[in-house]
Structure 1
Amino acid sequence: MNYTTLISASQLQAQLGHPDWVIVDCRFSLADSDAGRNAYQFGHIPTARYADLNKDLSSAITDQTGRHPLPDFRVLAKALGAWGISNYSQVVVYDDAAGAFAGRLWWLLRAMGHRNVAVLDGGITYWRQQGLAITTVLPQVKPCVFRPYLDTSTWLDARAVENGLATAKLCLIDARTPERYRGEQEPIDPVAGHIPGALNRPFQWNLAQDGRFLPADVLRGQFAALLGKLAPEAVAHNCGSGVTACHNLLAMEVAGLLGSKLYAGSWSEWIRDGNRGVARG
């Protein structure tokens, strides 16, 4: 069986040690960029490799980009091969933030043509709560070759977002908290507010109290109420820098609403150009 959206703790536990499975730890903190790697070294799921949001899953920031520009996909492909991920691997990604960071690697792999990648539902937090194995032993990795088959239609740039909103052909969903969306709080970016026309669905709304995703039928009903008659293909997701937006995209996939896209640059890229509109409230 292949896993392409979510995998449960028990399902992953049953496959630990499988030669065709690769687990990747994506823990990260925007407040402390070393926190995720430190946490990995103090204890991770057996055989897990570590992927750093800044160093591995993003490229360097420029004057025109947001805070986490898409990586150079050729460089990322080499990193995937160094982690032992081939085009035939079943990949499982996790973090300690209910998928907020792991979703980034899930989406990147899908954009590179790799469908067999799933987010660990509940992450390492739920894994620990179930009393499952944690280790400090670094995995023995057999490098291989990963060949990307990049699908550039899976994300939009700022111009495409502007055009889509202007012609009413695009529904943009902002994954940030309501306070940041409304412009009442902005702890990270220099400008507060949201892209004019964007709707707000904080990614936390995808989760139950235990940090796992809501059932697919519940998610489907919630997104259907938000989208009305719009097709999933007319939807794009944004956030502060294109990371947690992947959580909403994943939730739509879990719900069976396939084909939405990512505005990869998101708010932190949008505000680089003072001619682009800003909405508040």
Structure 2
Amino acid sequence: MELRIHNLSKTYSNGVTALNNISLTIPAGMFGLLGPNGAGKSTLMRTLATLQDADSGSARLDTIDIRENKDEIRRVLGYLPQDFGLYPKVSAYDLLDHFAVLKGLDQKKQRKEVVEGLLHQTNLYQVKNKHLGGFSGGMRQRFGIAQALLGDPKLIIVDEPTAGLDPEERVRFHNLLSDIGADKIVILSTHIVEDVADLCANMAVINKGSVILTGQPLQLIDQIQGKIWKRFIDKSELAAFQQQHKVISSRLTAGRTLIHVYADTQPAGEFSPTQGDLEDVYFAAMAGLFADAPAAAAQQTLAA
């Protein structure tokens, strides 16, 4: 199974180009779509979920043209949008049962088995009769995955699923996503680098509506080894270091400013080598330091 996206473009009426000739080939398994807020990720997800049309280009799930066969795609699609609304006074079981009816599961016995199975899978069975208004953020997201899995979909899209979750719920949600199955295409759209690092065998970085990097996270990390250097500096020195070096990120660590610099050889001064990770890959891509990653952003600053 494969999702092929070819030259998708979308410009809104206010003149904002949300998608600029996006082309991607996404195989079965977990695929990470990484980028900052406003990069075009949600526009791409809504387009693939048949909620809006692109101005030009195409997307095909195997032989199914997404734009021309919306009903056919919806039968094999599971979608968890960024803002997933729930009826607060309805129980988890009743709402999931309702969604199952809408998905075409009209046999009551079969529907009961499917609904209870998904509630078990998402660790919500013990609270199946609790009103959704009393669910925590993590419980709501797990319910969102339960409804996305109705009908045994082949394409699953989750948009910013861990934003706002506490660390424990984030780990629980990661474990749930990892168990979905390698025979499905699961697109994880997020601005959180750790989500992609933990879950995805393939990924793309998108910014300002364009794909600026694609590849396998482990291979991309290998490419930057020996090229990432770190140093603590005074905060007042940051602008000067950005002028002198390719500073890809800066963060506060224990009240001190730690910078990471991209360079083929050790920069002059008190720099030491550091093990590059996917966060360094992401910031290097955003700074245009990969062959297929044109300069797309200003220096990035992390507060930690």
TM-score (norm 2): 0.29
TM-score, length of structure 1 as denominator length: 0.31
Where relative contact order (Cα < 8 A, 6+ residues apart) is larger, the structure is: 1
Query: Over alpha carbons, which structure has the higher Rg?
Result: 2
